[in-house]
Chains A and B, each alone.
Chain A
């Protein structure tokens, strides 16, 4: 097993472990911490593929800003331990089979894709300069539209907060 593959399995294992503990934890803060672990392992996977910029941004935006807000809100609301409820009938009847079906579908898609698609060219976008050129020339309109969307979300939040205030 090559070193890259070994690191991949460690990071992928960490990501899956984080995702599973995210659901199993009974305290919201612990769940948030597990989610941070998932984000960090994903950043590591990006790094492994030679996408350094995406990895750093993944940590700054998701690991840092977004999750800090999550933790902040949980702390502010002082949310306590969640109570574990019994397995609901609906979950047993529809949830579990549907979840299994979805898992099978994704597994089949992944298994098929490796046959048809060429292996990902790792490091094709290595330099941040190339990435920014793509973002600000080829994809400039989608990029600007996305920022517009975020602006609308910010305005919406301000409007909601103001209404609460009045």
Chain B
């Protein structure tokens, strides 16, 4: 252990990056499955059901299809930009996850490290900087494809992203005023109000040393702008099928299309993480610190879930159903039991567990919106962004500063 100690500062981040990329790409794949499944059930359909039990192998089949499909390049494209755009989109989407803290600092084998790739003191600004660049991927893809639908999609997307970036940035200023820091980790720690659980979250607004101000307006503005930033329904104008075929990625096929797709879903995950951190207390438990029994919740959820997977899996007469699913279920049960028995492991898992639960809830909300809402018209989109969202976020900044100033005086 001592021999490699001097190199740990480089080994640990590399391991973290590899793990994060692996987890996020898997999560992206199964997010598409979840999306199709949830929308299917909301619309009284089954969703994917053919490939594997409950369509669980559908993402793998989709992945194989993406890799094996022919990748034609249309005539007259701007080659450099055409090839660069999908890489840029995916790269920026994955990079933005690097600054997200997924839990409090952890100590493994005596080595303390932050639960995320990079812990920098301007992490929120860094995230916005990366988001600010991500518009180029879509704009370049649209422009370089030599297709009028792509160009229109790219133009729409740039206009939309510039417009909604303003309200997105302004809507978090309220949180920053209360936290007094740009570090996402410190923003979460600030929401730990005397161990009273969810009362300290910015959405309720009792912060660490003074009574803050509820950021529910900021949260709404942030979430709406974030949906527009990630080009999701009801703001998916850049890829409106009925008007623009598929918008900026009309001329992309195979793996290059998959890159845009993965980029979009990764951006969804990033935004969900960010709203969890900024408004819903990040990795903090919603229960007061004194309720120690709630620490067994991960086990209580994991063990029955694992047992159900074993039970459900063996009904299928396939390799995946008979062997893989019970294996996964067994693993989950064992992990749940381990958390139940070893309190030190249980303490480590508390932060990531709540973070995951909250991010999952936000992602589910995202999908729910997609199944519910129709698409905006382009002029409605612009009116909404500039005439409603922007003034409301500015009003939130003024209101929050006024309340904080008043509290500080009196």
Interface, chain A (partner B; CB < 8 A): 27, 29-30, 33, 36, 43, 52-53, 56-57, 59-60, 63-65, 68-69, 71-72, 75-76, 78, 127-129
Given A30-B80, A64-B132, A64-B133, the answer on whether A72 and B125 have CB atoms closer than 8 Å is: no
Identify 22 residue pairs between A and B in the complex whose beta-carbon atoms are under 8 Å apart, listed by A's number: A29-B143, A43-B129, A52-B120, A52-B121, A53-B122, A56-B126, A57-B125, A59-B129, A59-B130, A59-B132, A63-B129, A64-B133, A68-B158, A68-B161, A71-B140, A72-B158, A72-B162, A75-B154, A75-B158, A128-B121, A128-B122, A128-B182
Is there contact, CB below 8 Å, between B132 and A65? yes
Chain B residues with CB under 8 Å of A65's CB are 132, 162, 165
- Residue in chain B with minimal CB distance to A74: B143
Is there contact, CB below 8 Å, between A29 and B129? no
- Residue in chain A with minimal CB distance to B120: A52
Taking each of A30, A43, A71, which has the highest tally of chain B beta carbons within 10 Å of its own beta carbon? A71
Is there contact, CB below 8 Å, between A75 and B151? yes
Chain A residues with CB under 8 Å of B362's CB are none
Chain A residues with CB under 8 Å of B121's CB are 52, 127-128
Query: Which of A29, A57, A69, A127 sits near B162, CB closer than 8 Å?
Result: A69
For residue B139, CB closer than 8 A to chain A, the reply is yes
Interface, chain B (partner A; CB < 8 A): 78, 80-81, 120-122, 125-126, 128-130, 132-133, 135-136, 139-140, 142-143, 151, 154-155, 158-159, 161-162, 165, 180, 182
- Residue in chain A with minimal CB distance to B122: A52
Given A52-B120, A53-B125, A56-B126, the answer on whether A72 and B139 have CB atoms closer than 8 Å is: yes
Chain B residues with CB under 8 Å of A63's CB are 129, 132-133
Chain A residues with CB under 8 Å of B161's CB are 68
Q: Is the interface of B mostly helix, strand, loop or mixed?
A: helix
- Residue in chain B with minimal CB distance to A27: B78
- Residue in chain B with minimal CB distance to A39: B133
Query: Which of B125, B139, B154, B158 sits near A56, CB closer than 8 Å?
Result: B125
Is there contact, CB below 8 Å, between A68 and B182? no
Is there contact, CB below 8 Å, between A64 and B129? yes
Is there contact, CB below 8 Å, between A72 and B129? no
Bound state CA distance, A57 and B132, in angstroms? 10
Chain A residues with CB under 8 Å of B80's CB are 30
- Residue in chain B with minimal CB distance to A75: B143
Chain B residues with CB under 8 Å of A60's CB are 125, 128-129, 132
Q: Is the interface of A mostly helix, strand, loop or mixed?
A: helix
Is there contact, CB below 8 Å, between A64 and B165? yes
Chain A residues with CB under 8 Å of B182's CB are 53, 128
Question: Least Cβ distance of B1 to chain A in Å?
Answer: 26
Bound state CA distance, A71 and B162, in angstroms? 12
Chain A residues with CB under 8 Å of B133's CB are 59, 63-64
Question: Least Cβ distance of B132 to chain A in Å?
Answer: 3
- Residue in chain A with minimal CB distance to B182: A128
Question: Least Cβ distance of A11 to chain B in Å?
Answer: 16
Given A56-B122, A60-B125, the answer on whether A71 and B136 have CB atoms closer than 8 Å is: yes
Chain A residues with CB under 8 Å of B151's CB are 75, 78
Chain A residues with CB under 8 Å of B129's CB are 43, 56, 59-60, 63-64
Is there contact, CB below 8 Å, between A75 and B155? yes
- Residue in chain A with minimal CB distance to B142: A75
Question: Least Cβ distance of B153 to chain A in Å?
Answer: 11
Question: Least Cβ distance of A33 to chain B in Å?
Answer: 8
- Residue in chain B with minimal CB distance to A58: B129
* Extra inter-chain contacts (5) besides given A33-B140, A57-B125, A59-B130, CB under 8 Å: A29-B81, A71-B139, A75-B142, A75-B154, A78-B151
Given A60-B128, A65-B162, A68-B162, the answer on whether A29 and B78 have CB atoms closer than 8 Å is: yes
Bound state CA distance, A51 and B165, in angstroms? 23
Chain A residues with CB under 8 Å of B158's CB are 68, 71-72, 75
Bound state CA distance, A29 and B145, in angstroms? 13
- Residue in chain A with minimal CB distance to B127: A56
Bound state CA distance, A36 and B246, in angstroms? 27
Taking each of A36, A43, A52, which has the highest tally of chain B beta carbons within 10 Å of its own beta carbon? A52
Chain B residues with CB under 8 Å of A30's CB are 80-81
Chain B residues with CB under 8 Å of A52's CB are 120-122, 125
Given A27-B78, A71-B139, the answer on whether A56 and B159 have CB atoms closer than 8 Å is: no
Bound state CA distance, A137 and B388, in angstroms? 32
Chain B residues with CB under 8 Å of A76's CB are 155
Taking each of B78, B132, B154, which has the highest tally of chain A beta carbons within 10 Å of its own beta carbon? B132
Given A68-B135, A68-B162, the answer on whether A56 and B81 have CB atoms closer than 8 Å is: no
Bound state CA distance, A27 and B82, in angstroms? 14
Bound state CA distance, A78 and B151, in angstroms? 10
Bound state CA distance, A94 and B189, in angstroms? 63
Taking each of A53, A60, A128, which has the highest tally of chain B beta carbons within 10 Å of its own beta carbon? A60
- Residue in chain A with minimal CB distance to B84: A33
